[in-house]
Amino acid sequence: MTDVDDLPCDELVELVTDYLEDALDQDGRARFEAHLEVCEGCRAYLEQVRQTVQVLSLLPAEDLSAPAREQVLEAFRAWRIGGHQA
Amino acid sequence: MRSGATSPRTGTGPAQDLARLVDQHSPHLLQVAGFFAADGAAAQRMVVRAWHLALPVLLPDPLAGAEGTEPPRVALVRALAVGDPDDPRVDSGARALRLAVQGAGCFVPLQLQPVTAAAGRDDLPARLRAVVGPLRLVLLLTDVQGWAAQDVEELLEVRPAARRALLALARDQLCRDVRPLRAG
């Protein structure tokens, strides 16, 4: 059945993450994809989620500052001197 | 800035192993802290504090998690959320993070938001900060840092279905507004 009534748009939105993680069962996946075939809005939504995930993965990360890093390593040295070394 | 990655390495053996571990995980910890702390300096302090707390857990075998069997990142993010009662700025960010971890387990999604357009790239960090704490954490760990689903579930102590629901809501919050794609 390729009718959006079989899987309304608001229900499809709930399943997008499951779909992207391949966590839907065979029937669920078939209903999901049947809906996509006939619903331009949901196709666009799915694509937007995909794009958003892709963009999020590109967010830059910074390293610990040199003084902060030294604090951690100094704590390790003190920890070892304190007799906790293996 | 990636100052830590370029600073000279000193020492050998366990010290060097630990330095490698710190350089490997600190950017991820800092990224999480940055979305909960008031500013970058507070985020740095949160991360240093987390390492201090995690040392006894990670050592004497600091590289145990680096080989893929038992990643220390769950322990590190938990330590990140402990805070520091002697430093209110650290404690403030850590408390928000702790609430995010604790809040995930009892979060019940009641209603999904309307389908909306995706977030613009430029204001993505601001949008991320506006996402509700538990959802923000799931989004950060999953979509930004690429954590495996199992690790996120372990950290938050939730079942896979709950994690997916949290992630769906988080993405929805991030993408909300702009313009509706469709009606009904």
ipTM of predicted assembly, 2 dp: 0.73
Question: Which of A22, A62, A81, A84 to mutate against chain B (most B CBs within 10 Å)?
Answer: A62
The Cβ of residue B69 has, within 10 Å, a number of other Cβ atoms equal to 7
pLDDT tens digit string along A42-52?
888 888 888 88
pLDDT tens digit string along B56-65?
777 655 555 4
Q: Residue written as tokens 């800092």?
A: B30
Residue A86 has pLDDT above 70, yes or no: no
Which residues of chain A lie closer than 8 angstroms to B28, CB-CB? Answer: 61
What residues contact B2, with CB distance under 8 A and at least 6 apart? A62, A63, B27
CB contact under 8 A, B160 and A23: yes
User: How many Å lie between the alpha carbon of A37 and the closest alpha carbon of chain B?
Assistant: 15
B126 reaches A (C-beta below 8 A): no
CB contact under 8 A, A42 and B171: no
CB B163 within 8 A of CB A23: no
Nearest CB to B124 within list A17, A23, A55: A55
Confidence label for B183 from pLDDT (cuts 50, 70 and 90): very low
Nearest CB to B48 within list A56, A62, A71: A71
Average pLDDT along chain A = 84
- Tell me how many degrees the CA angle B51-B154-B34 measures, rounded to the nearest 5: 45
